[in-house]
Structure formats: structure tokens, C-alpha cells
Amino acid sequence: MFRFIKSISLVVQILVPVIALIFFLPVPFLSLEPPYAIPQDGIHHDIGQVISRLPHWAPVLASLLVTLAAALMLNTSDRKHVLTGRRSYAIAFVFIFLIASSGQAFFFHPAFLAGLLILNGNRYLLEQYKTESSYPLVFSQAFNWSLAGVIYPPVFFILPAVVIGMVLMGSATLRHFLVLLAGLITPIILVLAIWFLTGQLDYEMASIQEWFALRIDFIPNFLRSNWLILGWLLLILVCIIIASVGYRNPRVQSRRLFQVNFIQFILTLGIPFFVPLVGPEIIRILLVPGTYFLTFWLLEVDREWKRNLFFIMMLASWLTFLLSHTIYTL
């Protein structure tokens, strides 16, 4: 049924935005508000207030565009480096199905832009493999990750993956570490300078501290109050564990990226259990590495029914999300 994801034809390429549009189209008609927490102060509070005042369809459209951009970046990187074992559009389809099935990423959140920057940073990471003069690549990778952290501060908890990735890709001299440090601090210095010049430094720094307060209770509120997203997350975790155990890619570059993605996935998974402000928007960043694992597994499964079952479960999760909300009377 879903064998078409292995194809590289133009028709399949056109299906990527069409399927994404089908998944997102009903959302503006649902009696549903964005499920994200908004900080009490600072620029992130202001951005959240602006988004909340937009027409109901606007954050959905923005999220759709970011989703398509992320799917395109994943697919471009995969087709260039053959990360999932074969050239296809599978990784784009898997990402879109995962986003839709979660039911928590239909409304735009700044974390989605952070996810795009992480993907772009990983692109520079891949280019470092067996590259003699990799200093610009190291700087660009660190700059993208740091800028993602400025947009969505919990990303700073995942920064160890950047250092480990640089080491695994063969860029591990003292000079590389200095370039990495320069790339990480440049966006931070620029933002601090802007806040200082506009007289907002103390105010913004106080609000940033909210993101680094530790959670008192261990279980995140969005998991405790929503059994659908809890069940979805457990299902995805089981699938990723199965995919990770069966990962056998002959390309050294792909295997090393797998290690980086696995570390990134574990670090991201732990964030909502320690940071109280983090909500379901973290799922978007979690799926950046998770999609690689699942796509490789789905392309290599020995039985067609296993692949079909996965996509059917994702469709069922999306339909359950739709049916659990009341449709507006038009």
C-alpha cells in the first residue's frame, strides 16, 4: 500500500506537499487552541502574544510551510548522502506522517524554526566528513545550533551533540574547538548587544532564566493531561528502539550521523522532564533525529505489512486527533 515511498518519480515528489496539505487542511476548522505554554515575560512572551492574536488559520499555514521546508531539507540531505540506505522521498513522507499523527505540531511555534536551523546545522556536520579545510563548516554548524538556541533556549541542553558530532566527523583539533566556540557565542553576543542597545538587557535576561528553571514534578503536564500524546510518544519510542537495533548502514558517514542523531534524540527526549516551560512543541525537535531512524527501518523491513501497519497507525492517530475535537459550525 505504501510502497510508493521508495519511488523517486516526479509524481511521488508532488505527493509530498499534497499529503501535507491534506493533513493540515481540517485543523483551522477545529475547536482547538495552540497547546504551547507562553513565558510570562520577555521576547518569547511577546512572540507568543502576537501569534495568539493572529487569525486561526495563520499559525496553521505557517506550521505547514515550516513542515514542508523541513521535509525538503531532510530529503535533500538524504538524497545527497544516501543516509537511509537508498535514494527516495521516503524520509519526507515519514516526517510529515509523524508530524500529523502527533496532533501537537499544527500551530506554529518558534521551536519549529529552531528545528530548521538544527537541520541546517546537521547539513554542515555531514560536509565535515573527510574534508580537509572544515573550519567554515564547523563555524556554520555551531552558528546554526546557537541561533536555534537563541530562538528556543532549551536547544542549549542539546549542544553536547554538536561537540560529539564534530569529533565523530573527524574535526577534533584544538583549532576546531576554538572555531566551534566562536560559532556558538557569536549569535549570543549579537543578541545581547541588541538587547543592551535597546535597554532591554536586564528584562530579557530575567525572562531567559525561566527556561533554565528545573521542574519540581517529574512528569510533564502535557503528557500527564493528554493520554493521546502519551500513547503516541510511547508508540514512536518503541518503533525507534526497533529501528535502532536493526540499523545496519554500510556507509561510515551515515553510521556516524546515526550516533549523533541518537545522542541528540536522547538529550531532546529528556528536556521536558526537567524544564517546566517545555511543552509539546519539543516534539518537532525530537522528530529531527527520530525520522532518520524510522525511515531507514521502513525502507529495510522484510515484510510489506510491517510498513503498512506503521503508516496505518499514524493515520489512525491523526484521525483520533481530529475526532477528539469539535468542528466549528460554519
- 202-211 residue pLDDT tens: 888 877 887 8
Q: Which residue has the cell 508508540?
A: 235
Asked if pLDDT for residue 297 goes beyond 60, the answer is yes
CA distance 189 to 195: 10
Instruction: Look at residue 70 and tell me whether its pLDDT is greater than 80.
Output: yes
- pLDDT digits 0-9 by tens, 131-142: 766 888 899 999
How confident is the model over 50-77, as a mean pLDDT? Answer: 88
Q: Which of 31-35, 162-166, 267-271 is predicted least confidently?
A: 31-35
| pLDDT at position 328 | 46
SS3 state at 206: helix
Residue 35, pLDDT above cutoff 70: no
- Which of 96, 56, 151 lies closest to 291, judged by CA? 96
| 296 has a pLDDT exceeding 60 | yes
- Outline where the chain has alpha helix (H): 10-24, 42-53, 57-81, 90-102, 110-127, 135-151, 160-168, 174-197, 201-208, 221-224, 227-245, 252-270, 282-300, 304-323
DSSP classification of residue 246:
T
CA distance 301 to 246: 9
